[in-house]
Amino acid sequence: MAIAAVVIIPIGILFLVTGLIVNLFQAILLVFVRPLSKNAYRRINKELTELIWLELIWLFDWWANIKVELFADQETFEIMGKERALVICNHRSDIDWLVGWVLAQRASCLGSSLALIKKASIYLPVIGWSMWFSGFIFLERNWAKDEDTMKSGFESLSDFPVPFWLALFVEGTRFTQEKLVAAQEFAASAGLPVPRNVLIPRTKGFVAAVTHLRSFVPVIYNMTVAIPKNEPRPTLLRLLRGRSSTVHVHIERLLMEELPETSSGIAQWCKDVFVAKDAFLERHLETDTFGDDKRRDIGRPKRSLLVVICWSCLLILAIVKIFEAYPFSWGEVAFCVVFLALVTVLMQILITFSQSEHSTPPKASEQAQLKQVLLQR
């Protein structure tokens, strides 16, 4: 279903133009600052990146008024954003990553939130490029190629100058009913606990992450995302339409030093966590809460609103000055029409790219190999 032009065009223009401006400054920093000081580059890039990502936070917080209800103990809530953390989470919707960014923004580490993400994301204009400048680890979903990529990516974080979150969706793909059925069939045939709310984790990447990060990343944030019974599932499409919803997020802080030392032990630990997460989500379905005694108020900071207002004023001022300096011609009108069409197409691509139903399902030819692959992982 097409999005009303009155919504998509202004939002798209603002995001595309301001994003490209920030991308240009990021490229300049990469060429002229990073060779002199990697830490200075990372600190400045953190602030620049937030100028783009806060526009998405504004969409979430102010345009759609989506509420994130956080459940965590007091110690975890107070220390969030003040330490390096590996974040693992179930992957239920197409904006789980944005929910994570909202929490990171509240914890003052939005610009230093990183992730292991599929390589195709790097080709997304503005947002994918900002991720590349920020040091995201892009994977091809081919272990022979990704193993070295992950190792070098993890090692590059050892001297990161500010606290960071590194997100890893260990299920490897978004949750769909089709994939759940495949996971249940495999679990039943392998004698494993049959999941109802999560997929079976692919532990190779998690084992590699723990092995390489445990010397300088002290904690794991075990994040669980759920949607209350009477709330619509938030999607990027609904977000752009300004449709509100509520998301429940539970965070459990786990010490990295308490994990097993062996690869097999780490893999089993991850599987056990997701068995517990499955049961945790089942209880949430019954009670519609993660425990009211752990509910924390994360507020709705005005910084994203101020960033969008400032960007909008600068863009309007620039447009006015251009119109004053250069009279209209048919060629310029045609350029504007083409530009608006490009914005619309790019926004539709972003929406399509993010939707759960468009995430790549397992190929039929892979089903016979599924049991062997998961057992090895």
Nearest to 113 by CA among 126, 102, 124, 128: 102
What is the pLDDT confidence band of residue 356, given thresholds at 50, 70 and 90?
very low
90 class by beta-carbon count within 10 Å (0-12 exposed, 13-18 middle, 19+ buried): buried
Phi/psi class of residue 209: alpha, beta or left (left: φ > 0; alpha: ψ in -120 to 50)?
Answer: alpha
Nearest to 311 by CA among 5, 45, 16: 16
User: pLDDT of 92-105, one tens digit each?
Assistant: 888 899 999 999 99
pLDDT at 2: 47
pLDDT at 12: 80
Nearest to 235 by CA among 350, 118, 119: 350
pLDDT at 260: 97
Provide the 8-state DSSP code for 107.
T
Q: Find all residues with CB under 8 Å of 189, minimum gap 6, and list them.
A: 371
Nearest to 183 by CA among 165, 170, 164, 166: 170
What is the pLDDT confidence band of residue 343, given thresholds at 50, 70 and 90?
low
Torsion, CA 322, CA 125, CA 347, CA 134, rounded to 10: -110
> Has residue 267 got a pLDDT over 70?
yes
pLDDT at 293: 78
First to last CA, the chain: 39
- The pairing of beta strand 67-71 with beta strand 246-255: parallel
What is the pLDDT confidence band of residue 371, given thresholds at 50, 70 and 90?
very low
Q: Find all residues with CB under 8 Å of 350, minimum gap 6, and list them.
A: 124, 127, 236
User: pLDDT of 70-85, one tens digit each?
Assistant: 999 999 999 999 999 9
Q: Find all residues with CB under 8 Å of 343, minimum gap 6, and list them.
A: 8, 9, 12, 13, 16
User: pLDDT of 188-223, one tens digit each?
Assistant: 999 999 999 999 999 999 999 999 999 999 999 999
